[in-house]
Amino acid sequence: MNKKKGKPSSDKGKKKNFKSGAAKYKNKNRQQKLSQKDTGLIRLNKYIADAGICSRREADKLIESGAVSVNGKVVSQVGTKVEPTDKVQLGTQTLKREKLQYLLLNKPKDFITTSKDPQNRKTVMQLVEKACEERIYPVGRLDRNTTGLLLFTNDGDLAKKLMHPSSSVKKIYHVFLDKNFSKNDMLKVAQGITLEDGIILPDKIAYVDGVEDKKQVGIELHSGKNRIVRRIFEHLGYKVNKLDRVLFAGLTKKDLPRGKWRFLTKKEIDLLKRL
């Protein structure tokens, strides 16, 4: 009986010791992480991405190719960490780790989505050029005659994530047509339209509430294909007189007049990163 009683007591002691050891291990890991954080070290690929050059994954490829140097020495080891004060160069270009900026523009008509235009046409960059010191770029594009929401950032990782074909970024457009949109064509679009580059299946399509005629349609989709909304309606014999993007990745035009911009809130940025 004593032996049987003794065994549970011994096992209990072992479990207690194991738990104590596990707790010490966790505390040690936590201390190491805090210590690393306190040093201010940052992964080299993140430094490059924060400089607005490219995404972290693309930065890893640049590092592996030997195109990146730190304090004058070529670094080709992925996972390398640097100090914020280190001199990081891509070729002969010295990189500056920038503050990440996120900006939303309500794009007006007749502005093209590009950084520079050889024909000297108006670009969206002119509308946000005084917004911040950092170099920001549009995420995706809206064609010249399309108005509405356009996101700008220097966060290369987020931009690539939002533009990726597999991205679940929701977009809603307000479409103004040259004639009434028939219920039969509404059904065709809802069931999927086959275009030259494949089938397009919108998430939702409906007439705009409160409008007497049937020339105004709302369409929700995830596709980022070029001129996709215009091509859907043109395929069915309609002309799009006006196209306005009213929602992008959960962001809306509320309190944002045409041609104006605003910075995203921390809550909005966090939501984008969780998409």
Question: What is the separation of C-alpha 243 from the centre of its chain, rounded to a whole number of angstroms?
Answer: 22
Number of structural domains found in the chain: 3
In terms of Cβ atoms closer than 10 Å to its own Cβ (0-12, 13-18, 19+), residue 189 is buried
143 in catalytic set: yes
90-141: pLDDT as tens digits: 999 999 887 889 999 999 999 999 988 889 899 999 999 999 988 899 999 9
Say whether both 183 and 156 belong to one domain: no
182 and 229 part of one domain: yes
The model's pLDDT over 182-206, given as tens digits with 9 standing for 90+, comes to: 999 999 999 999 999 889 999 999 9
* Judgement on whether residues 160 and 197 belong to the same structural domain of the protein: no
End-to-end CA distance of the chain: 61
pLDDT band at 260 (very low <50, low <70, confident <90, very high): very high
Looking at per-residue confidence, does 30 or 275 come out higher?
A: 275
Contact status, residue 192 vs residue 200, Cβ threshold 8 Å: yes
Note whether 61 and 196 are same-domain residues: no
**Model-level pTM?**
0.71
Q: Do residues 222 and 171 make contact, with C-beta atoms less than 8 angstroms apart?
A: yes
Note whether 75 and 44 are within 8 A (CB). Answer: yes
pLDDT recorded at residue 23: 52
Task: Name the residue range of residue 140's domain.
Answer: 102-165+257-266
CB neighbours of 223 closer than 8 A, spacing ≥ 6? 200
Query: In terms of DSSP bridges, do strands 216-221 and 204-207 run parallel, antiparallel, or are they unpaired?
Result: antiparallel
**Does residue 12 form part of some domain?**
no
Nearest of 244, 251, 247 to residue 145 by alpha carbon: 244
pLDDT at 228: 93
What confidence tens digit (pLDDT) does each residue in 163-186 have?
887 777 999 999 999 999 999 999
Give the Cα separation of 237 and 114 in Å (integer). 30
Choose between 224 and 247: higher pLDDT: 247
Residue type, 177: L
Shared-domain flag, residues 66 and 179: no
Whether residues 262 and 134 share a domain: the answer is: yes
- The CATH number of the domain holding residue 120 is 3.30.70.580
What's the confidence (pLDDT) of residue 25? 46
- Taking 90 as the threshold, does the pLDDT of residue 241 lie above it? yes
Helix or strand holding residue 262 (H, E): strand 261-263
Six token digits for residue 237: 């014999």
- Mean pLDDT (the chain) is 86
- Of the spans 82-86, 140-144, 149-153, 222-226, which averages the highest pLDDT? 149-153
Same domain, 192 and 61: no
| Residue pointed to by tokens 């140097």 | 69
Q: Are residues 194 and 217 in the same domain?
A: yes
| 73 and 187 co-located in one domain | no
Does residue 15 form part of some domain? no
Q: Which of 11, 117, 143, 197 does the annotation list as catalytic?
A: 143
183 in the same domain as 144: no
pLDDT of residue 237: 97
Q: Where are the alpha helices (DSSP H) in the chain?
A: 2-39, 44-50, 56-64, 125-128, 156-163, 183-191, 228-235, 266-273
Give pLDDT, residue 24: 52
Q: Are residues 108 and 70 in the same domain?
A: no
Summarised one tens digit per residue, pLDDT across range 20-63 is 555 554 554 455 444 444 457 899 999 998 887 888 999 999 99
Q: What is the pLDDT of residues 140-155, one digit of tens each?
A: 999 999 999 999 998 8
Predicted confidence band of residue 242 (pLDDT cuts 50, 70, 90): very high
Distance CA 187, CA 183 (A): 6
Domain co-membership, 159 together with 262: yes
| Residue 110 domain-assigned (yes or no) | yes
Query: Tell me, what CATH number does 70's domain have?
Result: 3.10.290.10
pLDDT given at position 163: 87
